[in-house]
């Protein structure tokens, strides 16, 4: 059976200075002074780059503002997808289109706990492009930005 240290010992542990503590900064300010979304964006690269096992990210747009999705998340995903498998569950077309998703799976909710796969394929697949444009707000704009970035044309997909 473990013994509990005296109160003085516990208090001493709490008061131990952290001289070698590394402060995480975001835009020059301590991350603990930032909003929850900004804190998430600062921690995401640290968490994501630390492993080589598959990574599942569920609706990152819920905790990140649009600027952070574009500035931070896209860069992290681009670097990570070369090293590990990533699954992102999202309703944000900018994440899947801007992140050059290699496989898109479109689900239809049947209930709170059940869904059905209604389509899947590459981000360049015509049916996926049409589905993203039809179902996700901002989908057409996301594809237009991707076309400009890569100098692509899509004659056969109505935007």
Same-domain status, 84 and 41: yes
Same-domain status, 74 and 118: no
pLDDT along the chain (159 residues), means of 10: 62 56 73 76 70 83 77 79 87 85 91 91 91 87 84 58
Same-domain status, 86 and 126: no
Please give the pLDDT value at position 29.
82
Same-domain status, 85 and 97: no
Same-domain status, 55 and 70: yes
Structure tokens at 51: 């492993």
Same-domain status, 109 and 57: no
Among candidate residues 40, 59, 90, the one where a domain is terminated: 90
Same-domain status, 103 and 48: no
Tell me if 19 is assigned to some domain: no
Please give the pLDDT value at position 156.
40
Same-domain status, 64 and 114: no
Domain count, the chain: 2
Which residue range forms the structural domain that includes residue 106?
A: 92-159
| Dist CA 82 CA 61 (whole Å) | 22
Tell me if 9 is assigned to some domain: no
Same-domain status, 101 and 72: no
Please give the pLDDT value at position 142.
85
Name the pTM for this structure.
0.63
**Residue 66's CB: how many other CB atoms inside 10 A?**
11
Q: What burial class does residue 22 get, using C-beta atoms within 10 Å of its C-beta: 0-12 exposed, 13-18 middle, 19+ buried? A: exposed
Range list of β-strands (E), 2-159? 25-26, 29-30, 55-58, 86-89, 104-109, 115-121
Please give the pLDDT value at position 60.
82
Same-domain status, 155 and 132: yes
Please give the pLDDT value at position 136.
84
Please give the pLDDT value at position 120.
94
Q: Report the CATH number at residue 49.
A: 3.40.50.300
Same-domain status, 129 and 77: no
């Amino acid at each position: 059976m473990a013994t509990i240290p005296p109160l003085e010992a516990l208090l001493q542990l709490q008061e131990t200075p952290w001289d070698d503590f590394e402060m995480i900064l975001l835009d020059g300010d301590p991350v603990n002074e930032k909003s929850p979304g900004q804190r998430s964006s600062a921690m995401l690269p640290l968490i994501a780059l630390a492993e080589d096992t598959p990574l599942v990210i569920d609706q990152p747009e819920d905790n990140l503002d649009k600027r952070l999705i574009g500035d931070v998340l896209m860069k992290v995903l681009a670097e990570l997808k070369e090293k590990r498998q990533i699954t992102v569950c999202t309703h944000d077309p900018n994440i899947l289109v801007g992140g050059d998703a290699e496989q898109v799976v479109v689900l239809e909710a049947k209930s709170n706990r059940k869904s059905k796969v209604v389509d899947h394929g590459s981000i360049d697949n015509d049916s996926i492009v049409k589905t993203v444009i039809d179902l996700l707000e901002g989908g057409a704009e996301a594809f237009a930005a991707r076309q400009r970035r890569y100098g692509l044309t899509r004659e056969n997909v109505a935007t």
